[in-house]
Structure 1
Amino acid sequence: MNVLASVVPNISIAENPRIRSFPQHIAALAEHCLRLEIETWPKPGLVSHINTGSHTDMDADMFRRSAFVLRPYFAEMVEAGMRDESMSVLRKIGLRAERAMLHATGGVNTHRGAIFGVGLLCAAAGLREGGHADPQTPLGVHVSRRWGKEVLAGPRLPGSHGELAGSRYGAGGARQEAAQGFPCVYQIGLPALRDAARLAPGNPEAARVQACFALIAVLEDTNLLHRGGLDGLRFAQQAAQEFLDQGGVGHEEWLRRAETVHHAFVERRLSPGGAADLLAMSLFVMELEEEAVL
């Protein structure tokens, strides 16, 4: 059984005659996974195709526009990886991608974390395609080995929510996650997607919900720390873990229970944006792993 087919539906990128190059193929997949993250509900406190969660300045259409304009920059990331470029080159592409995102959203940050995380995974896919890395080694390992030190040593964004929360609470944030090879993707997100495909067969959205809750339960999400402090983070982690402990999407009333958690997050204005980024990254990695064995 192709597990991914029940988690990431309607993938037909490879069959599209208009998409001819490897970078374009990977970039199309990256955009698709960002869109799938938005088409997932209930995700506690997060924007989805159903409602705007804990946010008043963004909605699903804004996220869709953002994902669309980022696609060519993801292709550039792949091409840079194929040339084995340094982190400084990737960073310049990322900054241009961020400007395009902000132009498309009227200045709202929808995908800064995804530009960083998915972008690095795209570059790692390029490394493999360009013959600079072992094709059997996980993308996250390539990110850590090739760019991990540069990621940690790179310039900071002192006014960003992630940097402020990391400085105040000691959370490693997206930089540390990337430098370590995205352990939350490989140890939490991917296993949750696979398990959920068996818990709720034929329901790909439920599988994505399960993975989102699994990520929230363990991640020291700097978005949660920024919005709710340590109390907000602990509340979010405990609520997500309770949902999982009671069967997750395998419970017959999982949808009602997940929606209750979502409303509790909204009441507290909590939004686990880091988990949303990691969900998209997990979907992206899972698809590439499936392609590799076909």
Structure 2
Amino acid sequence: MTALAPRFVAPLSEAVAHQVARLAAGALRAELDTWPKPGLVSHVDCGSHTDMDAGTFLASATAIEPFFAALVIAGATGAGMDGLRAIGLQAEGAMLTATGGVNTHRGAIFGLGLLCAAAGANGRAWNAGALCATVRQRWGQGIIRGPIPLRSHGTAALLQYGAGGARAQAAAGFPHALEIGLPALRLMPGTGNAGRVQCFFALLATVEDTNLLHRGGAEGLRFAQQAAAGFLAAGGVAQPNWRDAAEAIHHAFVARNLSPGGCADLLAITLFLDALERHT
């Protein structure tokens, strides 16, 4: 398949770029506020992590927001994957400075950053399917062919388990966010946290999360997916005492040192896609 030629659109105003960036940072904050969210940092506790807390994530989200705006402009002006990657690396530097060297949002910078660029490339046509298609068609090959971090958890999972991780998700246009996350989120419109929890568990039940593979191996991934599937089979957030059920799973994850960071990123991506559609 031949690569699509760059499609240039009328330059977006800085105000629009910053609007998109605010929505991206807002999705990160909404992901943080989601509870219970097994194994992950939230406003309630630190999950399976000892080196970060809610304050770390909030500082990170604030630090990287301006780079999301830069990625919107880059997408609007036809930047290739190398150009987007350069901005992403600057965002990572700002994140590490804000967090004292802790990686809170590297995966989210990658995923949300690509969708910010797609929002710029698409003008004000922010339909979720169109945005995901733009990422796949315009930058998919660059994502696959780009440099692979030699010491990342995702690379280790790729080598040991053949799991594609965030790169495969992005190159394919975030199919889990589009086909699983959004429908689950929209099953209960206007429910706020409950809808986000339902979305998260739907993703957790189906995503081959490389963070889970890194921490728990194939057994840890299987345990996590089965726990999520059981929660959904019992009715998800529609079941009585759903918070207690979800919190019990959270504590089971912490006891096993499991943290589905890939699913957290996909939750933020799903929330961002939903927000963009509502602001079109």
Give the TM-score range, shorter chain: over 0.9
Q: How many residues align?
A: 267
Query: Please, which runs of 5 or more residues in structure 1 have no aligned partner?
Result: 1-18
- TM-score of the superposed pair, with normalisation by structure 2: 0.93
- Structure-1 residue corresponding to 2:232: 244
- Structure-2 residue corresponding to 1:66: 60
- Structure-1 residue corresponding to 2:212: 224
Q: Is the CA contact 2:126–2:276 (under 8 Å) kept in the aligned structure 1?
A: no
Q: Which of 101, 105, 108 in structure 2 is aligned with 1:111?
A: 105
- Structure-2 residue corresponding to 1:95: 89
- Using the TM superposition, give the Cα deviation of residue 49 of structure 1 relative to its aligned residue in structure 2, in angstroms: 0.3
Q: Is the CA contact 1:196–1:249 (under 8 Å) kept in the aligned structure 2?
A: no
- Structure-2 residue corresponding to 1:183: 175
- Which 4+ stretches in 1 moved above 3 angstroms? 134-137
1:269 aligns with 2:257: yes
Aligned AA (2:198): Q
- Structure-2 residue corresponding to 1:143: 135
- Structure-2 residue corresponding to 1:81: 75
- Using the TM superposition, give the Cα deviation of residue 253 of structure 1 relative to its aligned residue in structure 2, in angstroms: 1.1
Query: 2-side partners of 1:185 and 1:122: how far apart?
Result: 15
Aligned AA (2:238): G
Query: 2-side partners of 1:175 and 1:135: how far apart?
Result: 22
Q: Which of 36, 39, 51 in structure 2 is aligned with 1:45?
A: 39
Q: Which deviations, in whole Å up to 9, do the C-alpha atoms of 1:237-260 show, x marking residues without a partner? A: 000000000000001110100000
Query: 1-side partners of 2:14 and 2:69: how far apart?
Result: 12
- Structure-1 residue corresponding to 2:27: 33
- TM-score of the superposed pair, with normalisation by structure 1: 0.89
CA RMSD of superposed structures (Å): 1.3
Query: 1-side partners of 2:126 and 2:173: how far apart?
Result: 16
Q: Which deviations, in whole Å up to 9, do the C-alpha atoms of 1:184-230 show, x marking residues without a partner? A: 11011100100133xxxx53011111111110100000000000000
- Structure-1 residue corresponding to 2:199: 211
Q: Which of 150, 154, 158 in structure 1 is aligned with 2:146?
A: 154
Query: 1-side partners of 2:104 and 2:217: how far apart?
Result: 21
Q: Is the CA contact 2:52–2:102 (under 8 Å) kept in the aligned structure 1?
A: yes
Q: Identity of aligned pairs, percent?
A: 57
Query: 1-side partners of 2:150 and 2:18: how far apart?
Result: 34
- 2:279 partner SS: helix
- Using the TM superposition, give the Cα deviation of residue 291 of structure 1 relative to its aligned residue in structure 2, in angstroms: 2.2
Aligned AA (1:114): A
Q: Is the CA contact 2:18–2:69 (under 8 Å) kept in the aligned structure 1?
A: yes
Q: Is the CA contact 1:79–1:123 (under 8 Å) kept in the aligned structure 2?
A: yes
- Using the TM superposition, give the Cα deviation of residue 48 of structure 1 relative to its aligned residue in structure 2, in angstroms: 0.2
Aligned AA (2:272): F
Aligned AA (1:254): W
- Using the TM superposition, give the Cα deviation of residue 268 of structure 1 relative to its aligned residue in structure 2, in angstroms: 0.2
- Using the TM superposition, give the Cα deviation of residue 166 of structure 1 relative to its aligned residue in structure 2, in angstroms: 1.4
- Using the TM superposition, give the Cα deviation of residue 289 of structure 1 relative to its aligned residue in structure 2, in angstroms: 1.3
